[in-house]
């Protein structure tokens, strides 16, 4: 065993003096006043530690203090038994246990507007809450991690007589889970994005070098004829790909280190971490450089070998032209022969040069995929928030009570000015058991026909709680391994029941999709009946009220809700939306950077492909000009051919991009993340449109330099041979 610390943890209603709308729920955690905690020690950001065992002082968690603009020396009032006890803030601190400040795994929203953590002397907290000398939590470190499972089992056995719950490992602690979820997501994407970009870049380098070899056949043949060995030809093209890879990887390493510092500072700033260390990891930088260089070098092997296989006589001899009559296309498009020349030539050229067409189609499809992956991830995160805020929650404001209240308060609230509708809800943590599997969740009792909380199935179908059984979210379904119609056992946690909780059998009636949290649903009356023997519930008991409000009366209704007897925190849906946006802001910024990289790579791919397409046709263009065909007509034919090829690439790239988005989401979604935040693959129609339009614009822009160069050709020289 490492170190052990016993403490008392109590949730109470607190008030910030001078701010009538700042009544909320505070979690008081006891700490020794005469020494620092040996487990989960505090890092004092401002102020100082507690000054004495009986001093009415608190150390406030930093994110709560920052949100409410509290400083050392300010005061907070704690409501207890109808009285208010004032505490002075001695210091502002960070706790390793609350990097994300969440109440529980069932209530994971880090919402400093209505919930805060504070630390108080053990000798003060016990008498304050009527539990002198008692503890409710034991936290410990273990010297030998390999013995942790055995120690946890032994601790459960020894403490079972006191009604202790199952021990919680650090990785199952909700704040740690949220942190790990972020890090695992970053880790997954740090592999997937480079893999995608390098794959596309490697295939692009390969395609461009192959087409370069094709264009430079006469030069290769001449060099071979004057004595260049095949080995020297191979080394020449390999050196080209090596130079591209080395220069790009060098630039990418420097840019990557700078961006890693930006992302690190952004993430640590979001968590308000006091320590920020950004140092180059030379091993990782070297590996990245070698991989980038190696990918380009590998991409050049086949083109280099293809160049070395070209014989001098073969290369110096003009290529046999492709037959002018493309029978399969004529059969597919019966009227092709009678079409105007401006349409017939582009249509035939698309199929007459398969190498050129395939490489361009690949480039366009790859570019589309790169754009869609980053934008699709943004769409999916936005859809998850919208599903939770606008698809599930229809209230504007809700109040949470510190003690159970009678449903009569709902009827009272409905009569207030500005209140459109109000509903009561009964929420309580419970434990579900199916065979050997046990899992904790939040049970929510909703009014029949609830207008303010809508439930949806995985397919989007509207669902309602039924007396016949529970509606489970996808996490509970997975964790317990249940299907519709199965029977589960449900009970209150030992810490919530006044006596040994009774396990009751209940049926699983169906499943709903929950973007956030681990929740089960029942009708409100059925929830009361289920636990009325375990808890002293008043008639029509509720734990909160949800209210739909005329926006003009929002502030007034919020004030009145806070003044209700027993009212704790009040949450405004607009504040919740802003908080969720803040939580995902860093991820969105990272995806936006990836989108910019994807668009830049997409531009380079399409630009190079189209440029080579035009330059390869220099002699053909020169011939048409000598025959009297105008420049604008030639420009139209080239543009039409390129757009037809791009259209094929777009048709292939859009579904491929959708598949990649789904693959990225699945790869970045761990089982632990699904317990807290669940994402579906969503790609909005605008993303398809943006990607397609962007490629069309890039194709049009890409033609300009190449066509400008072709228009300046020496016609006599160009018609005699291919320009290289």
Could you give the CA distance from residue 685 to residue 575 in angstroms, rounded to a whole number? Answer: 28
How far is the CA of 124 from the CAs of 32, 42, 128, 230, 243, in angstroms?
10, 18, 6, 87, 70
SS3 242: helix
Locate 66 and state its tokens. Answer: 């920052």
Closest CA to 637 of 355, 352, 341: 341
pLDDT for 389: 73
Q: Checking DSSP bridges between strand 9-15 and strand 487-491, what pairing results, if any? A: unpaired
pLDDT for 343: 67
Residues 405, 541: contact at Cβ < 8 Å?
yes
Residue at a domain's end among 320, 341, 364: 320
Same domain, 598 and 686: yes
Could you give the CA distance from residue 157 to residue 352 in angstroms, rounded to a whole number? Answer: 79
Burial of 609 (0-12, 13-18, 19+ CB in 10 A): buried
Could you give the CA distance from residue 482 to residue 471 in angstroms, rounded to a whole number? Answer: 11
Burial of 666 (0-12, 13-18, 19+ CB in 10 A): exposed
Same domain, 425 and 374: no
Residues 448, 452, 455, 460, CA torsion sign: positive
Same domain, 147 and 217: no
Same domain, 415 and 428: yes
pLDDT for 67: 83
Same domain, 192 and 307: yes
Written as one string, the DSSP assignment of 360-380 is: HHHHHHHHHHHHHHHHHHHHH
Residues 717, 719, 720, 724, CA torsion sign: positive
- Whole-prediction pTM value? 0.68
Could you give the CA distance from residue 336 to residue 181 in angstroms, rounded to a whole number? Answer: 58
Residue at a domain's end among 496, 514, 540: 540
SS percent in the chain: helix, strand, coil, step 5: 55, 20, 30
- Whether 466 maps to a domain, the answer reads yes
Could you give the CA distance from residue 623 to residue 721 in angstroms, rounded to a whole number? Answer: 11
Please state the φ and ψ torsions of residue 60, each to the nearest 5 degrees: -100, 140
Any idea what the Cα angle at residue 464 is, between residues 458 and 469, rounded to 5°? Answer: 95
pLDDT in tens, 397-453: 988 887 888 888 999 999 999 999 999 999 888 889 998 888 888 899 998 888 898
Domain count, the chain: 5
Same domain, 145 and 22: yes
- Whether 579 maps to a domain, the answer reads yes
Residues 424, 564: contact at Cβ < 8 Å?
no
Could you give the CA distance from residue 619 to residue 337 in angstroms, rounded to a whole number? Answer: 24
pLDDT for 121: 92
pLDDT for 326: 46
Could you give the CA distance from residue 77 to residue 15 in angstroms, rounded to a whole number? Answer: 5
Q: Give bridge partners of residue 5 from the DSSP assignment.
A: 139
Closest CA to 370 of 593, 182, 589, 211: 593
Beta strands in 38-145 (DSSP E): 43-47, 57-61, 75-80, 83-94, 115-121, 137-140
For 320-326, which contacts have Cβ atoms below 8 Å and span 24 or more sequence positions? 322/352, 322/353, 326/351, 326/352
Tally helices (H) and strands (E) across the chain: 22, 20
- Whether 73 maps to a domain, the answer reads yes
Residues 650, 652, 653, 658, CA torsion sign: positive
SS3 541: coil
Q: Give bridge partners of residue 57 from the DSSP assignment.
A: 88
The interaxial angle of helices 631-668 and 618-626, nearest 10 deg, is 150
Locate 345 and state its tokens. Answer: 């030539």
- Whether 650 maps to a domain, the answer reads yes
Q: Name the residue with tokens 């040996």.
A: 38
Same domain, 426 and 461: yes
- Whether 585 maps to a domain, the answer reads yes
Same domain, 252 and 315: yes
List, for the chain, all residue ranges whose pLDDT scores fall below the cut of 70. 1, 19-23, 81-82, 105-111, 270-272, 274-275, 313-346, 353, 494-500, 517, 583-584, 586-587, 613, 615-617, 668-677, 706, 710-724
- Whether 401 maps to a domain, the answer reads no
Q: Give bridge partners of residue 416 from the DSSP assignment.
A: none
Same domain, 85 and 108: yes
Same domain, 15 and 144: yes
- Whether 551 maps to a domain, the answer reads no
Closest CA to 65 of 126, 20, 32, 73: 73
- The range of the structural domain enclosing residue 348 comes to 321-352
pLDDT for 325: 46
Look up residue 574 and give its DSSP letter.
H
Residues 469, 487: contact at Cβ < 8 Å?
no
Residues 575, 263: contact at Cβ < 8 Å?
no
Could you give the CA distance from residue 115 to residue 78 in angstroms, rounded to a whole number? Answer: 13
Burial of 168 (0-12, 13-18, 19+ CB in 10 A): middle
Could you give the CA distance from residue 225 to residue 236 in angstroms, rounded to a whole number? Answer: 16
Q: Give bridge partners of residue 558 from the DSSP assignment.
A: none
Same domain, 505 and 589: no
The interaxial angle of helices 217-225 and 174-215, nearest 10 deg, is 60
Residues 349, 354, 355, 360, CA torsion sign: positive
- Whether 616 maps to a domain, the answer reads yes
81 backbone φψ class: left, alpha, beta (φ>0; ψ -120 to 50): left
Residues 715, 558: contact at Cβ < 8 Å?
no
Same domain, 685 and 724: yes
Residue at a domain's end among 490, 521, 540: 540
């Amino acid at each position: 065993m490492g170190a052990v610390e016993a403490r008392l943890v109590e949730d109470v209603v607190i008030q910030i003096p001078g701010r009538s709308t700042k009544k909320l729920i505070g979690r008081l955690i006891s700490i020794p006043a005469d020494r620092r905690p040996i487990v989960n020690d505090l890092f004092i950001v401002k102020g100082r530690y507690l000054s004495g065992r009986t001093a009415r002082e608190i150390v406030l968690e930093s994110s709560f203090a920052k949100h409410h603009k509290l400083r050392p020396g300010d005061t907070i009032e704690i409501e207890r038994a109808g009285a208010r006890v004032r505490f002075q803030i001695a210091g502002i601190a960070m706790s390793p246990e609350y990097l994300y400040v969440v109440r529980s795994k069932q209530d994971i929203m880090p919402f400093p507007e209505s919930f805060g953590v504070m630390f108080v002397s053990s000798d003060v907290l016990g008498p304050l809450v009527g539990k002198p000398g008692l503890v409710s939590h034991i936290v410990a470190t273990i010297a030998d991690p390999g013995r942790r499972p055995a120690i946890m089992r032994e601790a459960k056995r020894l403490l079972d007589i006191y009604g202790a719950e199952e021990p919680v490992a650090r990785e199952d602690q909700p704040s740690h889970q949220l942190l790990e979820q972020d890090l695992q997501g970053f880790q997954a994407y740090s592999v997937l994005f480079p893999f995608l970009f390098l794959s596309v870049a490697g295939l692009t380098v390969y395609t461009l070098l192959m087409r370069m070899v094709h264009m430079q056949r006469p030069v290769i043949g001449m060099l071979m004829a004057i004595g260049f060995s095949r080995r020297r030809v191979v080394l020449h093209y390999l050196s080209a790909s090596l130079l591209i890879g080395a220069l790009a990887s060098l630039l990418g390493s420097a840019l990557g280190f700078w961006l890693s510092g930006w992302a690190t500072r952004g993430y640590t700033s979001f968590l308000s971490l006091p320590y920020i260390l950004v140092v180059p990891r030379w091993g990782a930088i070297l590996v990245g450089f070698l991989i980038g260089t190696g990918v380009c070098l590998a991409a050049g092997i086949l083109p280099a070998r293809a160049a070395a296989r070209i014989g001098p006589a073969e290369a110096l001899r003009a290529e046999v032209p492709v037959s002018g009559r493309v029978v399969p296309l004529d059969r597919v498009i019966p009227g092709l022969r009678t079409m105007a020349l401006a349409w017939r030539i582009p249509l035939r050229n698309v199929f007459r040069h398969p190498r050129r067409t395939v490489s361009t189609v690949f480039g366009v499809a790859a570019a589309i995929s790169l754009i869609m992956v980053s934008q699709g991830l943004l769409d999916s995160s936005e859809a998850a928030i919208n599903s939770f805020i606008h698809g599930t929650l229809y209230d504007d404001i809700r109040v949470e009570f510190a003690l159970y209240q009678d449903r009569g308060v709902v009827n009272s609230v409905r009569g207030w000015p500005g209140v459109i509708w109000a509903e009561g809800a009964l929420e309580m943590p419970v434990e579900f058991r199916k065979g050997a599997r046990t899992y904790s969740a939040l049970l929510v009792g909703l009014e029949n026909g609830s207008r303010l909380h809508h439930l949806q199935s995985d397919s989007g179908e509207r669902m309602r709680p039924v007396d016949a059984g529970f509606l489970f979210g996808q996490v509970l379904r997975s964790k317990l391994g249940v299907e519709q119609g199965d029977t589960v056992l449900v009970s209150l946690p030992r810490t919530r029941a006044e006596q040994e909780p009774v396990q009751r059998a209940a049926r699983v009636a169906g499943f709903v999709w929950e973007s956030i949290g681990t929740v089960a649903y029942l009708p409100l009356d059925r929830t009361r009946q289920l636990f009325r023997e375990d808890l002293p519930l008043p008639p029509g008991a509720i734990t909160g009220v949800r209210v739909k409000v005329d926006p003009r009366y929002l502030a007034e209704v919020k004030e009145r809700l806070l003044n209700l007897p027993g009212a704790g925190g009040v949450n405004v849906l607009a504040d919740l939306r802003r908080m969720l946006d803040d939580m995902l802001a860093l991820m969105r910024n990272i995806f936006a950077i990836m989108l910019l990289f994807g668009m830049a790579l997409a531009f380079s791919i399409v630009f190079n492909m189209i440029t080579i397409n035009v330059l390869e046709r220099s002699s053909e263009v020169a011939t048409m000009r000598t025959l009297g065909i105008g420049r604008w007509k030639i420009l139209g034919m080239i543009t039409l051919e390129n757009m037809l090829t791009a259209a094929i690439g777009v048709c292939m790239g859009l579904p491929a991009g959708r598949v990649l988005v789904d693959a990225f989401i699945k790869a970045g979604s761990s089982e632990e993340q699904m317990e807290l935040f669940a994402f579906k693959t969503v790609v909005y129609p605008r993303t398809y449109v943006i990607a397609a339009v962007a490629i069309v614009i890039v194709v049009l822009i890409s033609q300009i330099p190449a066509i400008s160069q072709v228009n300046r050709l020496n016609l006599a020289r160009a018609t005699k041979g291919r320009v290289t």
